[in-house]
Amino acid sequence: MKSTYRGRRLASLSGSLLAAAGLTLMAAGPVQASSHREAPFITEHPKVDGTDFYAFRSYEPGRSGYVTLVADYQPLEASYGGPNYFTMDPDALYEIHVDNNGDAIEDLTFQFRFRTMHRNISLNVGGKNVAIPLVQAGSISSVNPAVQNVAESYTVSLIRGPRRGGTVQAITNAANGSARFDKPLDNIGNKTIPNYPAYAAKFVYDINIPGCGAGRMFVGQRKDPFVVNLGETFDLINIKYPAVEFNANAEHSAPDSLSDANTTSLVLEVPTSCLTRGSDPVIGAWTTASLRQGSLLNPNPHDGDEGRNDAIKVGGPWTQVSRLGMPLVNELIIGLKDKDRFNTSSPSGDAQFADYVTNPTLPALVEALFGSAGVVAPTNFPRTDLVTAFLTGIPGLNQPAHVTASEMLRLNTSIAPVPKGTQSRLGVIGGDAAGFPNGRRPGDDVVDVALRVAMGLLCTLNSPATFGCKPADAPSGGIHFTDGAYLDDSFFDDAFPYLKTPLPGSPNGQNGLPADM
């Protein structure tokens, strides 16, 4: 009975959202990167800065029984960022959490821990062995070869129950039973790694997940998947307003400020049955990173045990410093004074941030900047439409049977995945129930969706029982707000790990001396 009701509600909701999307005009609005440098403290610790989080039914052919979870870390990785590239922090915990009963507390946690090894490769120069200054001493095509001077590896644990007190079990390599996995070098350039796609493919692992069965995993550098027009946005929304000077291609009118950036991705493919509980197919998920509470700089650092550098000593309890579930929340909703607090908080404590959702400042800023062109902020307070979209999930779409209002990315795992090439970039408001805000796929343009929802799109559906508002509450809710940086599923692969090969630091091939020299 519940399943039939949910299916009817979902069909009705998707149809209404699609109709609403078809009636609107286009306008420009403000955005920031999904979670790149989003809070003051985290700008000082980029290695543990979560930049994007995704959760979606795997749409690779033959993998529909799985959910893919992606946590991206380290913003704005320059492909040429050597000689010390973007290793992960061995003194940090990187975690992906899943709540499968709606109580805003993690039931499953996938915990990643990294280790960096220094081989200290030396060359004989004038009779003396001298350490080289680079991370590589030759061309690389295999896993962890002898010419690789710096090598990263990692372990992954599945924790059932509280993240710091639950039952811990190791995820292992299905090929050899090992609990330790190698991470590829970043894409230094074509001379160091001539065929990076083939090289990176060696680090896609079939894994055994305790109590769940088989899955897949990849951890390594990828092209930053987020697309956004940052520079003009930060300059007081220095973007043309298409409702005044109409431009039919407004959604394609601005550059992607992250087109030259890479990121580091933690990608897991997990059986759906592992993540859900009972008859409710909806899960909530988010990612966090934590550091030790205390640290001490070593005035005389050197390579210690196992070749690991000891430039800093850490201790004390783990303290969460980064948090990301739904995109754009800490950027567009949380006030500046509370951004660090949000990053250290848990979903179960989100009542402290309720005013930012019920009485948001973003629409008021948009009206102040574009009011002369007729843009008006929604007038329904409290903004129950935003509470539904950001804190509870939408009834009939992705709201758990028993839900505690809290911020996380919610996915209805009973909704079939949509193949690459037929996905709507606007997700649910584009008539595609398998997309954002029902989870998030790489090709979902969450910037445009979030802007339109913030300005009252859900009120235009005239469904007060669901969203608590009506069309008159959102005079500008029918405008197609956009940052002008276009994104759809064509930007990504149709197979695991979905995100594209990272940009090379050196685009040139093997530029040796000419043959006649």
Summarize pLDDT for 134-159 with one digit per residue, the tens: 999 999 999 999 999 999 999 999 99
Distances (CA, A) of 340 to 131, 315, 365, 517: 41, 21, 22, 59
Report pLDDT for 234.
62
* First CA to last CA distance, the chain: 80
Q: What angle do CA 490, 412, 390 make, to 5 degrees?
A: 85
Report pLDDT for 15.
46
Report pLDDT for 242.
40
Q: Is residue 511 part of a domain?
A: no
Given a cut of 70, the residues of the chain with pLDDT beneath it are: 1-36, 232-248, 302-309, 509-517
Q: Is residue 261 part of a domain?
A: yes
Amino acid at 57: R
Question: Do 75 and 33 contact (CB within 8 A), yes or no?
Answer: yes
Q: What is d(CA 67, CA 261) in angstroms, rounded to the nearest whole number?
A: 26
Residue 389 CA, distance from chain mean position: 18
Q: Which two tokens stand for residue 228?
A: 């956004």
Question: Do 49 and 42 contact (CB within 8 A), yes or no?
Answer: yes
Report pLDDT for 511.
53
Q: DSSP of 302-321, one letter per residue?
A: -B-GGG-B-SEEEEEEEEEE
Per this entry, what is the length of the chain? 517
Total number of domains in the chain: 1
Which domain does 182 fall in, by range? 2-489
Q: What is d(CA 50, CA 52) in angstroms, rounded to the nearest whole number?
A: 6
Q: For residue 323, how many other CB atoms are within 10 A of its CB?
A: 26
Q: Which two tokens stand for residue 72?
A: 């991206």
Q: Is residue 509 part of a domain?
A: no
Q: Is residue 502 part of a domain?
A: no
The label of the residue with tokens 């709540």 reads 99
Q: Is residue 500 part of a domain?
A: no
Question: Do 458 and 472 contact (CB within 8 A), yes or no?
Answer: no
Report pLDDT for 2.
37
The label of the residue with tokens 């929604």 reads 378
Q: Is residue 398 part of a domain?
A: yes
196 DSSP assignment: H
Q: Is residue 497 part of a domain?
A: no
Q: What is d(CA 245, CA 240) in angstroms, rounded to the nearest whole number?
A: 8
Q: Is residue 25 part of a domain?
A: yes
Helix, strand, coil distribution of the chain in percent, nearest 5:
25, 30, 50
